[in-house]
Chain A
Amino acid sequence: QQQVKQSPQSLIVQKGGISIINCAYENTAFDYFPWYQQFPGKGPALLIAIRPDVSEKKEGRFTISFNKSAKQFSLHIMDSQPGDSATYFCAASMLYLGSGNTGKLIFGQGTTLQVKP
């Protein structure tokens, strides 16, 4: 059972355009939603994260939009650049449970973004 579903699997955007990647989750106990960016041959690195008490978080050209009632969240990359070409993973975790919680991350399937010059 895939707890976090990510779409699309791949995305091609022109330079300067907006890239949008969507994720949906099932477990309402999730309380931490990070996005990771992975360049070819490298390990994933944290890009931006949000908690469900806010509906939007923006860091530079990257914005997470969060819809708690729909159990969905999305990554928007404004003014997309060729250097943004990478694989993006959404994830979900439960950070604020009781003792014994390890904050395990459950990842989506990944989206390969190509930004054309």
Chain B
Amino acid sequence: NAGVTQTPKFQVLKTGQSMTLQCAQDMNHEYMSWYRQDPGMGLRLIHYSVGAGITDQGEVPNGYNVSRSTTEDFPLRLLSAAPSQTSVYFCASKAGVRDTQYFGPGTRLTVL
């Protein structure tokens, strides 16, 4: 049971480039979320999903897209990277509304 996995661990992009951060979980969790962590800002919710085919926006969704075609995967897409998107990104999942949320190991993204 690998839990929540994220790839890549590190990524450097140039302004305007696009990329996809991958997230997968093998716990059959319905709920999945993406957060960004910035110094002094805590963890801020970007997008979340309550099941395959269902996604919604969090606190800071601008510049990011998501889709959820399977229960296991929840990729985060940056269509045109900006320096303001330099951050550490965490994916998380939980079985249900009242269950413990588990986080992945994170992806450190730098946009030059």
Contact = CB atoms under 8 A, between A and B. Distances in A.
Interface stretch (A43-51, A65-73, A74-82): A43-51
Interface of A: 4, 6, 9, 32, 36, 41-46, 89, 95-96, 101-110
B101 A105 contact: yes
Contact of A89 (B33, B43, B48, B97): B43
A6 B94 CA distance: 24
A102 B42 contact: no
Given A46-B100, A89-B43, 16 more contacts: A41-B106, A42-B106, A43-B4, A43-B92, A43-B103, A45-B102, A46-B101, A95-B97, A95-B98, A102-B56, A105-B43, A106-B45, A107-B35, A107-B42, A109-B42, A110-B40
Interface of B: 4, 31, 33, 35, 40-45, 48, 50, 56, 58, 90, 92, 94, 97-98, 100-106
B42 A44 contact: no
B46 to A, nearest CB: 12
Main secondary structure of the interface of A (DSSP, over half): loop
A89 B43 CA distance: 9
Nearest to A105: B101
